[in-house]
Amino acid sequence: MTNAMLEVKEIESFYDKSQALFGMSFSVRQGEFCTLIGRNGMGKTTTVKSIMGLLNPARGQVLFEGKPLHKLPPYQVARFGLGLVPEGRQIFTNLTVRENLTATARDAGGSDSKWTLERIFQLFPSLERRAKNLGSNLSGGEQQMLAIGRALMTNPRLLILDEATEGLAPLVRKEIWDCLAELKRMGQTVIVIDKNIASLLRLADNHHIVEKGKVVWSGSSASLKAQPELLERYVGV
């Protein structure tokens, strides 16, 4: 695809000698909201790590607007405008909410939507109420909102969320999905990994099904809804 923002091309990634990705390929257009779905252990998080420079693939390419990322360390990848909300909501527990948000604030460049503290507080009013609280004093849901807020404060051109609703109560989960819907409305380019397939089908433009370290099917929400056997076979729902 020529007009892709992100192209993951035939990457193979390893943990020591153990291979986790076997020719992983997919691409993401600007403004697209897409997902990686599949059973546990199929390579979704490894793909995210390989994009973000946390694990450099042994073979293949990761291109962002045509520029190679696959040999760069994470801080250089982030400078291109890639933001990650990692699995397990990693925030600074010894900093306040406000400090967490301002510590990582950065303009990765080129984004029309400039995120500020005020705009994050509009998106997540409960964070404003807790602005002076330490990260360690937040509920799981608030920590997740803070993790998303932190990533947005870098003004990412591409935002990747890995299991952002995992382990949260239904009401808080809904708040996170509402936030993602708002980001989509704003034209933010997003890759989401999540187990809530119904929400993903409602929100996402496209899906990539991951099985044994590679994409085995890609298509739109409408196309995936029309083929429930795919979800049954590869996701187990």
Residues that bind ligand ATP (CB under 6 A): 15, 18, 20, 38, 40-46
Q: How many CB atoms lie within 10 A of CB 108?
A: 16
| 47 versus 189: smaller Cβ distance to ligand ATP | 47
- Residue whose entry in the numeric block shows the structure tokens 């608030």: 142
In the complex, minimum distance from the CB of residue 96 to ligand ATP, in angstroms, rounded to a whole number = 30
Please count the other Cβ atoms lying within 10 Å of the Cβ belonging to residue 49: 23
Residue with smaller CB distance to ligand ATP, 23 or 187: 23
For ligand ATP, the closer CB: 3 or 18: 18
To the nearest whole angstrom, how small is the minimum distance from the Cβ of residue 145 to ligand ATP?
21
Coil, helix or strand for 96? strand
| Closest approach of ligand ATP to the CB of residue 209, in Å | 11
The CB density around residue 13, as the number of other CB atoms within 10 Å, is: 22
Q: How far is the CB of 153 from ligand ATP (least distance, A)?
A: 25
Of the pair 20, 123, the CB lying nearest ligand ATP is at 20
In the complex, the smallest distance separating the C-beta of residue 49 from ligand ATP, rounded to whole angstroms, is 7
Comparison of 54 and 103: residue with beta carbon closer to ligand ATP: 54
In 3D, which of 212, 209, 210 has the Cα closest to residue 201?
209
Question: How many other CB atoms are found less than 10 A from the CB of residue 44?
Answer: 24
Pairing of strands 82-85, 158-162: parallel
The tokens describing 122, both together, are 């509009």
Q: How far is CA 9 from CA 30, 35, 70, 184, 212, in A?
A: 17, 17, 10, 25, 16
